[in-house]
Chain A
Amino acid sequence: IQLTQSPSLLSASVGDRVTLSCKGSQNINNYLAWYQQKLGEAPKLLIYKTNSLQTGIPSRFSGSGSGTDYTLTISSLHSEDLATYYCYQYNNGWTFGGGTKLELK
């Protein structure tokens, strides 16, 4: 299954509501997770099974979607949220999307 993330680069301001998209080439059956990766660090799990928030992750992060289309939303952007975000499907094999880099406007 191929994952396509959009946009590849997103400029936003602190306090903005931000939406990142991930589209699969086939039905993912909600087996989709989101990871945040800051420069020089390992990816960090944010969301699993489409909308389950990993322990310790702030509630401003949320996930939604079904079928082939999924979304990560940050309700109010904090400066520490600037990073690259990857979606990841585990319905059939293990594949990551190409990432969305979130930068300050």
Chain B
Amino acid sequence: EVQLQQSGAELVKPGASVKLSCKTSGYTFSNYYMSWLKQMPGQNIEWIGNIYGGNGGTGYNQKFKGKATLTVDKSSSTAYMDLSSLTSEDSAVYFCARLTGRRYFDFWGPGTMVTVSS
């Protein structure tokens, strides 16, 4: 069974950084891309970027370049997203989702809520 487990909620101060994790099981991590997506309260969903589990190759939404950095640890089948220079506009739920070869997301993690507040 494919499972994506995300790290817990974060409360961070403006200007700080945070690293979110997405630990996977039930499939061959290195054969798929992992995507990260953002959903602000009551808003629609934005694609942040993708990272390939095999070699760490990445692709980003231009809007999130410089804000988000995606990495993977193949040994633990875990994907990570660093968010830097946080502002209130970064307060949101962040999802990881497996990207199929046909370019849609089939399995999602439960999400990590990030709250940026002093």
Binding site for B on A (CB under 8 A): 31, 33, 41-45, 48-49, 54, 86, 88, 90, 93-99
A–B complex contacts, Cβ < 8 Å, 19 sampled: A31-B103, A42-B108, A43-B95, A43-B97, A43-B105, A43-B108, A45-B104, A45-B105, A48-B102, A88-B45, A88-B104, A90-B103, A90-B104, A93-B61, A94-B47, A96-B44, A96-B46, A97-B44, A98-B44
Q: How far is the CA of A43 from the CA of B47 in the complex (A)?
A: 13
When distances are taken between beta carbons in the complex, the residues of chain B under 8 Å from A97 are: 44
Instruction: Summarize A's interface: helix, strand, loop or mixed.
Output: loop
Contact with A along B89-115 (1 / 0, CB 8 A): 000000101000011111011110000
Using CB atoms, name the residue of chain B closest to A44: B108
